[in-house]
Structure 1
Amino acid sequence: MKTFKFSLFLGIILLFTSCKNELKTTDFTLKGFVFGTTYKITYLNGTQNFQKPIDSLFRLVNKSLSTYIPTSDISKINNGDTTIVVDEMFAEVFKKSKRIYNETDGFFDPTVGNLVNAWGFGPKNEKIDLTNEQVSNQMQFVGLHKVELQNHKIVKENPKIYLDFNSIAKGYGIDVIARFFNSKGIANYLIEIGGEIRAKGTKKNNNPWLIKLVNPTENTNGYKTLNLSNKSMATSGNYRKFRISEDGKKYVHTINPKTGFAIESNLLSASVIANLDCADVDAYATAFMAMGLEKTKAFIVKNNSIKVILIYLNEDGNLEEFTNYTYN
Structure 2
Amino acid sequence: MVDLRYVTVCWALVILAGCGNGESLESFAGPTMGSTYSIKYIRTPGVPAPDDVQPQVEAILDEVDRQMSTYRSDSDIERFNDLPANSCQPMPEAVLRLVRVGEQLSRASGGAFDLTVEPLLNLWGFGPQARTVKVPDPAMLAAARERVGHQHLRIEGDRLCKEAAVQVDFNSIAAGYAVDQIADRFNQLGIRRYLVEATGELKAAGRKLDGSPWRVALEEPRDDQQVAERIIAVDGFAVSTSGDYRNYFQQDGRRYSHTLDARTGAPITHALASVTVLAPSALMADGLSSLLLILGPRQGWEYAEKQRIAAFFVMREGAGFVTRSNKAFEQLTTSEP
Shared fold per TM-score greater than 0.5:
yes
1:233 aligned partner, one-letter code: V
Q: Which amino acid aligns with 2:227?
A: N
CA distance in structure 2 between the aligned counterparts of 1:155 and 1:182, rounded to whole angstroms: 35
**1:55: which partner in 2?**
58
Matched residues in 2 for 1:84 and 1:142: separation?
19
Identity %: 27
Deviations 1:148-177 (A, max 9, x none): 11121111111x211001110011111111
- What is the aligned partner in structure 2 of residue 39 from structure 1? 37
Paired residue for 1:153? 159
- Deviation, 1:317, is 4.3
Residue pairs, 1:75-224, within 5 angstroms: 75-80=78-83, 82=87, 84-127=89-132, 128-158=134-164, 160-217=165-222, 218-224=224-230
Give the Cα–Cα distance (whole angstroms) in 1 for the partners of residues 68 and 31 of structure 2: 17
Q: Which has the larger radius of gyration?
A: 1
CA distance in 2, matches of 1:83, 1:103: 26
Opposite residue 244 of structure 1, the aligned amino acid is: Q
Shift of 1:131: 2.4
Distance in 1 (alpha carbons) for counterparts of 2:93 and 2:306: 31
Answer 1 or 2: higher relative contact order, Cα 8 Å, separation at least 6: 2
CA distance in structure 2 between the aligned counterparts of 1:174 and 1:142, rounded to whole angstroms: 28
Is the contact between residue 26 and residue 47 of structure 1 (CA under 8 Å) also seen in structure 2?
Answer: no
Which residue of structure 2 lines up, in the alignment, with residue 66 of structure 1? 69
Query: Shift of residue 309 of structure 1?
Result: 0.8
CA distance in 1, matches of 2:199, 2:65: 15
Counterpart secondary structure, 2:204: strand
Q: Of 282, 289, 305, which aligns to 1:285? A: 289
Distance (whole Å) between structure 2 residues aligned to residue 291 and residue 62 of structure 1 = 28
- The separation in 2 between residues aligned to 1:263 and 1:211, in whole angstroms, is 27
TM-score by length of 1: 0.87
Give, in angstroms, the shift of residue 47 of structure 1.
2.2
- Whole-Å separation in 1 of the counterparts to 2:89 and 2:150: 19
Tell me if the contact between 1:38 and 1:194 (Cα under 8 Å) persists in the aligned partners: yes
Contact 2:23 2:209 in 1 (8 A): no
> In structure 1, what is the Cα distance between the partners aligned to 2:267 and 2:64?
28
- Tell me the residue number matched to 1:12: none
TM-score, scaled to structure 2: 0.84
Kindly indicate whether the alpha-carbon contact (under 8 Å) linking 1:238 and 1:264 is maintained by their aligned counterparts in 2.
Answer: no
CA contact (8 A) 2:117 2:262 kept: yes
Per residue, is there more helix in 1 or in 2?
Answer: 1
Whether the aligned pair in 2 keeps the contact of 1:57 and 1:177 (CA below 8 Å) is yes
Runs of 5+ consecutive residues of structure 1 not aligned to the other structure: 1-23
SS at match of 1:167: coil
In 1, the alpha carbon distance for the partners of 2:211 and 2:92 equals 38
Contact 1:250-1:263 at 8 Å conserved across structures: no
**CA positional deviation for 1:219:** 4.8
8 Å Cα contact 2:123/2:141 also seen in 1: no
Does the residue aligned with 2:97 lie in a helix, a strand or coil? Answer: helix
Distance 1:313 1:103 in 2: 25
Write out the 4+ residue segments of structure 1 that deviate beyond 6 Å after TM superposition.
none
Q: How many residues get paired? A: 301
Match in the other structure for 1:4:
none
Cα RMSD between the aligned structures? 1.9
1:84 is paired with a residue whose SS is: strand
Offset, 1:63:
1.1
The answer to whether 1:239 aligns with 2:242 is no
CA contact (8 A) 1:267 1:313 kept: yes
CA contact (8 A) 1:25 1:47 kept: no
